[in-house]
Amino acid sequence: MSKKGIPHTATVSFVFVFMMFLFSFQSNLSLLSRSNVTSSITKSKPVIVSEEREEQVARSSIQSGIVRGKREEKPELSPSHHSGAVTKAREDMRAPSPSRAEVRNVITCDCSHDYYDMWSINGPTLLDPITSTFFAIGATDSTPPDFTVKFHPYPRKTDENAKSKVNELTLTSAPPKSSCGVTHSSPAIVFSTGGYTGNFYHQFNDVLLALYITVNSLSLNQDVILVVTNWSEWWHETLLDFHALLENTYGPRGGYAPASDRPQIVLVNRRNGVGREILNLKEVLEEIEEVGFKAIVFEPKRDAPVRETYTLLHGCHAMVGVHGAALTHLLFLRAGTVLGEIVPIGADWLAKTYFERPAGVLGLEYMKYKIEINESSLAERYGADDLVLKNPSGFVNGNYSKAKVYMKTQNVKLDIVRFRVYIKEVFVKAQRFMDNEG
């Protein structure tokens, strides 16, 4: 598949299953119970049908006009309507999946459930996000020409009100009009965060639980790509909700008695050869104290009580560290706290995506310290003019195992003159925060 292509067009090549889920529990709202959840696990197992049955599904779909999106009015696809068809339902996807030759019709549906339909494209698929269309590019001769189905990926297939709040998708065996920009080699699951989400119950019942059970029932033994339609900013707010939940659980009652008259900074430290260590830590700490901070070095431990860590971080006025998983402790900080991220070479995208953006959502004062080439240990190893340092994305060039160079083998030695300018700014903000919030 061509890499250049129409912008915004993504190709998703799926190894063996491409799932479109219209998924629900078979009980209705008030009847959902533990035992019903369990039985829905059984019900949600994908059904692989024989060739003969697959052809029947496709043909009858066309004949019945269900492809025009009226499927819920005409439940012809339930197995009982195909009494003559040979149906080999496999209950376990761990059984070998059928070879390409066996899967003649790549677009199939398990439409036998009352509340959801499960559409699959069994093969490489191209997604055009502009038109919300999935092209089955592995379609074979025996697929009826231009087989097309439209539906709403939400587990309430007869609920018109819910469906009006869900983007309509198209699956087709027609040839795509565009080429791809991005490729993946994993199966994907497509679902919508529209519908009744926003309501706590529906969020769990219609989306999170349904997704959890579905992914597990497929026994794919590999990661899946989640393709979300109707994605909304609203889901972002769950991060804020989670932040609030932590504060309710671990937060102090009745505010803070400042532990010191100086703002406190927590330096999150990486060590023991994990990569991205601060090589001149001692010097850096002296500098931090010099500008007026009370510095605490924090090295996360697996068995540390969460409450203890929470108390330390929730009371501080700044947290600083080199880009790494431990910065996730930003969830423990109060809104307004300074989060200082030291960004090594090759980590810009990660830093922005994993910490800078969430920090914005949580109302933290995010302050980046992007290192210069001469502050990276890679400069000594490769030479400052090497592609590794000059152009990390060119060096990685889509092969992410090469990113290990940056993540595992790079350490930083901060330029103290430069760091001093930075930490002074951090101090000014932290001091202001302490004056206002304690």
Ligand X SMILES: *[C@@H]1O[C@H](CO)[C@@H](O)[C@H](O)[C@H]1NC(C)=O
Q: Least distance in Å: CB of 6 to ligand X?
A: 21
3-state secondary structure of 151: strand
Task: Pick out residues in 410-429 that bind ligand X (CB under 6 A).
Answer: 415
Nearer to ligand X, 28 or 260 (CB): 28
Whole-number Cα distances in Å, 277 to 204, 255, 272, 379: 40, 34, 8, 15
Q: What SS3 class is residue 265?
A: strand
Shortest CB 170 distance to ligand X, Å: 13
Q: What residue has token string 């697996």?
A: 302
Binding-site member from 5, 10, 36, 89 for ligand X (CB under 6 A): 36
DSSP H stretches of helix in 65-134: none
Q: What's the closest the beta carbon of residue 397 comes to ligand X, in angstroms?
A: 8
Q: Which of 2, 4, 7, 31 binds ligand X (CB under 6 A)?
A: 31
Per CB under 6 A, does 409 bind ligand X?
A: no
Choice between 241 and 372, CB closer to ligand X: 372
Buried b (16+ CB within 10 A) or exposed e, 13-50: bbebbbbbbbbbbebeeeebeeeeeeebeebbbbbbbb
For ligand X, the closer CB: 314 or 370: 370
The structure tokens listed for 103 are: 């899967």
β-pair partners for 20: 119, 190
Sheet of 188-192, strands arranged across:
107-110, 118-121, 18-21, 188-192, 225-229
35 binds ligand X (CB under 6 A): yes
Instruction: Choose, by CB under 6 A, the member of 2, 42, 161, 399 that binds ligand X.
Output: 399
- What is the CA 223 to chain-centroid distance, rounded? 11
- On the 0-12 / 13-18 / 19+ scale of CB atoms within 10 A, 90 is middle
Which parts of 353-372 interact with ligand X (CB under 6 A)? 372
- 26 binds ligand X per the rule CB under 6 A: yes
Give the residue from 280, 289, 285, 283 showing the smallest Cα distance to 298: 285
Tell which positions 105-134 bind ligand X, by CB under 6 A.
Answer: none
Minimal distance in Å, beta carbon 336 to ligand X?
Answer: 30
Query: In the bound complex, what is the minimum distance in angstroms from residue 3's beta carbon to ligand X?
Result: 14
For ligand X, the closer of residues 311 and 409 by Cβ is 409
- Annotate each residue in 190-229 with x if it binds ligand X (CB under 6 A) or - if it does not, as one string: ----x-----------------------------------
How far is residue 55's CA from residue 255's CA, in Å, rounded to a whole number?
67
How near is the Cβ of 72 to ligand X at its closest, in Å?
17
Would you count residue 348 as binding ligand X (CB under 6 A)?
no
Interacting residues with ligand X (CB under 6 A): 26-27, 31, 33, 35-36, 165-167, 194, 230, 232, 372, 374, 399, 401-402, 415
